[in-house]
């Protein structure tokens, strides 16, 4: 799996990370969406604005929940996001631990 197109050095910042599964929320007023660190699937918060809600409704591929880093990570909680398929594909390789709540 080392030739997987989704791998581009994430080991540097995600190996052994504690993650939590949760609903995506905007990081800030100017950082209102994220992408999966592996496949670049888009995460958005439907509660951020009526425009966001409409966009999500019109684009079913947009994700509203996934796995994210916790406060234990050097970049902090909710900084890096991983979609469910990529989480399943890389969980063992990266040695992630899952926190029940963060």
pLDDT tens per residue, range 61-90? 999 999 999 999 999 999 999 999 999 999
Q: How confident is the model at residue 2 (pLDDT cuts 50, 70, 90)?
A: confident
How many domains does the chain contain in total? Answer: 1
State the number of CA atoms in the 13 A half-sphere of 86 facing the CB: 23
Beta-carbon contacts of residue 43 (< 8 Å; ≥ 6 apart): 24, 33, 34, 35, 36, 62, 63, 64, 66, 81, 83
CA–CA separation, 74 and 71 (whole Å): 8
Give pLDDT, residue 1: 53
Residue 9 lies in a domain: no
**What sign does the CA torsion over 4, 56, 13, 19 have?**
negative
Q: How confident is the model at residue 3 (pLDDT cuts 50, 70, 90)?
A: confident
Residue 82 lies in a domain: yes
Q: How confident is the model at residue 8 (pLDDT cuts 50, 70, 90)?
A: very high
Q: In percent, how much of the chain has pLDDT > 70?
A: 97
Residue 13 lies in a domain: no
Residue 48 lies in a domain: yes
* Residue 62, domain extent: 19-26+40-96
pTM (2 d.p.): 0.93
């Amino acid at each position: 799996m080392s030739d997987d197109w989704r791998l581009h050095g994430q080991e540097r910042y995600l190996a052994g990370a504690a993650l939590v599964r949760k609903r995506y929320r905007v990081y800030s007023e100017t950082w209102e969406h994220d992408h999966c660190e592996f496949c670049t699937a888009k995460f958005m918060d439907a509660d951020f604005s009526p425009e966001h809600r409409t966009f999500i409704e019109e684009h079913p591929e947009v994700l509203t929940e996934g796995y994210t880093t916790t406060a234990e990570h050097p970049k902090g909680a909710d900084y890096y996001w991983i979609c469910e398929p990529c989480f399943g594909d890389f969980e063992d390789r990266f040695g992630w631990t899952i926190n029940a709540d963060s």
